[in-house]
Amino acid sequence: MSLEEYYPTDSEKEILETYHKDLYDLFCHDTDHFNLIEFGAGDGLKTKILLRHFLEEHGNFRYLPIDISKEALAILCNDLKSEMPDCIVEPLHNDYFAALHDLAEKDYFTRNVILFLGSNIGNFTMEEAVSFLSAIHDNAKKGDILFIGFDLKKNPRKILNAYDDARGITRKFNMNLLERINRELGANFNIDKFSHYPTYDPVTGETKSYIISDVEQEVQITSLGMNVKFEQAEPIYVEVSQKFDMKMIKMLASESGFNYITSFYDSENNFVDSVWEVL
Ligand SMILES: C[S@@+](CC[C@H](N)C(=O)[O-])C[C@H]1O[C@@H](n2cnc3c(N)ncnc32)[C@H](O)[C@@H]1O
């Protein structure tokens, strides 16, 4: 995420730095306190921008980071304790699908502002995205807000470079999947016989990453008692990262039951953070 080619991080940071006051006013509209609930908080690098400004505004809010990684949550909470001791933090170590149900039971009189940053929604297919967002909507109450980041369609080369950096870090990141299978499931993938292959389709907006078997080969996965044969050039589909336009974003809001309110862009129109509410 800190790679020079991986523009979404800086673009979203810029949005949060530029519009924190507008966001605070939107989140506080008609109320003087709110819960800031973050799905997949990670290191909270960008969220800290909002937290810092909201504390300066003497905002009356609690921060509830949700993450499936216990380690990520522990690091985030420690950081916040030393960097922002006044911030009320209530971490939730859970899968966000499971956390959705807790949401419905959180105190009924406080507005929930749900953050889903970093265009994480792009890792779902469009169909999965609608069902995930509908589940958020159906577990939320009137007046709750979803603040959600989307990486926008743009020059295809710029997008492709973000998944194919010059230093080969994204390659290592994807190959790490095979290394983990070797380490944790006793497999014998020879990493040198596989290639990293990212693609971007400007029509659908899908960035897809594949690992390609360079030769015909067979891999043993001992713990699973499994032998896997690969043809020469056979692809392993690793991930999708969907890119969006405003038509798609407004369609997602309406198909999942939300009322689209507004969106905030960075200065290069790389990225958008969109505000939706439950009517
Ligand atoms: C790419 S990081 C993004 C972090 C942060 N939201 C940002 O935009 O910089 C995704 C985070 O989501 C967490 N995560 C992924 N799948 C999850 C799930 N199903 N439930 C909860 N957290 C999840 C990961 O552990 C990771 O910390």
Write out pLDDT tens, residues 196-234: 999 999 999 999 999 999 999 999 999 999 999 999 999
Q: How far is the CA of 100 from the centre of ligand 1 (A)?
A: 15
Name the token pair of 274: 């969109």
Decide whether any atom of ligand 1 lies within 6 Å of the 96 Cβ: yes
Q: What is the pLDDT of residues 224-272, one digit of tens each?
A: 999 999 999 999 999 999 999 999 999 999 999 999 999 999 999 999 9
136 class by beta-carbon count within 10 Å (0-12 exposed, 13-18 middle, 19+ buried): buried
Q: What is the pLDDT of residues 90-146, one digit of tens each?
A: 999 998 878 877 766 766 788 999 999 999 999 999 999 999 999 999 989 999 999
Decide whether any atom of ligand 1 lies within 6 Å of the 243 Cβ: no
Q: What is the pLDDT of residues 139-148, one digit of tens each?
A: 899 999 999 9
- Report the nearest atom of ligand 1 relative to the CA of 46: 9
Q: What is the pLDDT of residue 106?
A: 62
Q: Whose CA is nearest to atom 19 of ligand 1?
A: 95
- Report the nearest atom of ligand 1 relative to the CA of 40: 12
Q: Give the whole-number percent of the chain exceeding pLDDT 70.
A: 98
Beta partners for residue 237, in sequence order = 210
Task: Kindly report the pTM of this predicted structure.
Answer: 0.94
- Report the nearest atom of ligand 1 relative to the CA of 119: 8
Q: Whose CA is nearest to atom 26 of ligand 1?
A: 42
Mean pLDDT for the chain overall: 95
